[in-house]
Amino acid sequence: MDQDRLRRLIEALENGEADIDEVLEKLRMLPYEDIGYAKLDHHRSIRRGFPEAIFCTGKTTEQVLEIADRILSNQGEVVLTKVGSELASELKARFQEKVTHASEANMAFLGNCSQKVDGKVAVVTAGTSDISVAEEAVALCDRYGVEVSRIYDVGVAGVHRLIPYVPAINASDVVIVIAGMEGALPSIVSGFTDKPVIAVPTSIGYGANFRGLAALLGMLCTCSPGIAVVNIDNGFGAAVFALSILRIAHSKKNG
């Protein structure tokens, strides 16, 4: 529909029905919906490949519900992160069967996923305590039809625990490695594979960990060059990055 409106506008310009200022004004207005405290970017899925996600921390339930409603109407699907159980109930009350709640990941999805992505992702954690961050990555990959291998609790102090999973890691296209404390697991995983390794530091730990700082610095200073890092506890961002990688492969294959 938007595509149509866009085409008509450009024709109006070319055949003189509109001057350039009118057109620019309209072009500006097309992709937004302004609800006062939020500007919804309904063309985002075209431009970025993903629908707009709502980071729920720091927003009121009313704001979340209204923003979600508008995005759902326009884009057909919504991704919500940091969804507590109370907010999840409100979402279910409002959007009913349209809601999928990934409770371990504190995420929710509205509507059907418009897009499927081919590929395999291994999600590896150092400890049991890193699992909630890992599940954020898993939930998003699942949603997009990506095949996920969960490889949990294979941390550094027992590196031999990792070795049985090296084949599973190498059978994936992308590896997400999640670790708190000293954050060394991504370096080690990277030594066993030629796949891109996305490292997620977590705030798990105490003392000199300084809320994830130790893990973050360790991952950035890795001596293994095939690693890139996202923010502390940002399992969602790691999954979006992994999906963006898989789409390249997908388009190449089909292109």
Residues constituting the chain:
255
3-state secondary structure of 69: helix
| Residue 93 C-beta-side C-alpha neighbours within 13 Å | 9
Structure tokens at 37: 């405290």
Residue 108 one-letter amino acid: A
Contacts of 124 (CB under 8 A, 6+ apart): 151, 152, 154, 162, 165, 169, 175, 176, 177, 178, 185, 189
By CB under 8 A, the residues from 221 to 250 that bind its own copies are: 221-234, 236-238, 240-241, 244-250
Judged by beta carbon, residue 20 or residue 97, the one nearer its own copies is: 20
Stretch that binds its own copies, among 68-76, 93-101, 106-114, 196-204 (CB under 8 A): 196-204
Q: Is 157 in the site for its own copies (CB under 8 A)?
A: yes
DSSP symbol at 49: S
Q: How many residues bind its own copies (CB under 8 A)?
A: 110
**In the bound complex, what is the minimum distance in angstroms from residue 201's beta carbon to its own copies?**
8
Q: Is 149 in the site for its own copies (CB under 8 A)?
A: no
By CB under 8 A, the residues from 51 to 70 that bind its own copies are: 53, 55, 57-59, 63, 67
- Tell me the per-residue interface mask from 113 to 142 with its own copies, x by CB under 8 A, - otherwise: -----xx------xxxx-x-----------
Structure tokens at 24: 């620019």
| Residue 85 C-beta-side C-alpha neighbours within 13 Å | 1
**In the bound complex, what is the minimum distance in angstroms from residue 129's beta carbon to its own copies?**
4
What is the C-alpha to C-alpha distance for residues 52 and 110, in angstroms, rounded to an integer?
A: 12
What is the C-alpha to C-alpha distance for residues 169 and 175, in angstroms, rounded to an integer?
A: 7
Q: Is 171 in the site for its own copies (CB under 8 A)?
A: no
- Asked whether 203 and 226 are in contact (CB, 8 A), the reply is no
- Asked whether 222 and 201 are in contact (CB, 8 A), the reply is no
Stretch that binds its own copies, among 9-17, 70-78, 88-96, 105-113 (CB under 8 A): 9-17
Which residue carries 């089909």 as its tokens? 254
Q: Is 161 in the site for its own copies (CB under 8 A)?
A: yes
By CB under 8 A, the residues from 20 to 49 that bind its own copies are: 20, 28-29, 31-32, 36-39, 41, 44, 47-49
**In the bound complex, what is the minimum distance in angstroms from residue 97's beta carbon to its own copies?**
27
- Tell me the per-residue interface mask from 91 to 110 with its own copies, x by CB under 8 A, - otherwise: --------------------
